[in-house]
Amino acid sequence: MTGTPLGRPSGTVRAYLALAIVAAFLAGHLAGAVWLLARGEVESGLALLGALALEAGTVTGFYFGARGADG
């Protein structure tokens, strides 16, 4: 073993954790939006979906911006 976490290349476990955290956050927002829409609170549900899209775009932009700076 090379001393890396879980025998994976450097940074892989950190990436797994980041993906899990972001996925849980997005799933929670999506579930909340669906629940609000099902209750008939259309404006609140759409606002939450807008926040979901904004957060997903921000995370994606940061990821690809950081990757572009690396190489």
Q: Which long-range contacts (CB under 8 A, 24 or more apart) does 24-33 make?
A: 25/55, 26/52, 26/55, 26/56, 29/55
Length of the chain (residues): 71
**CA–CA dist 40, 19 (Å, integer):** 31
The phi, psi pair for 41, rounded to 5°, reads -90, 75
Neighbours of 48 (CB within 10 A): 21
pLDDT tens per residue across span 16-65: 887 888 888 889 988 999 999 999 999 999 998 888 888 888 887 887 78
Query: Residue 31 has what pLDDT?
Result: 93
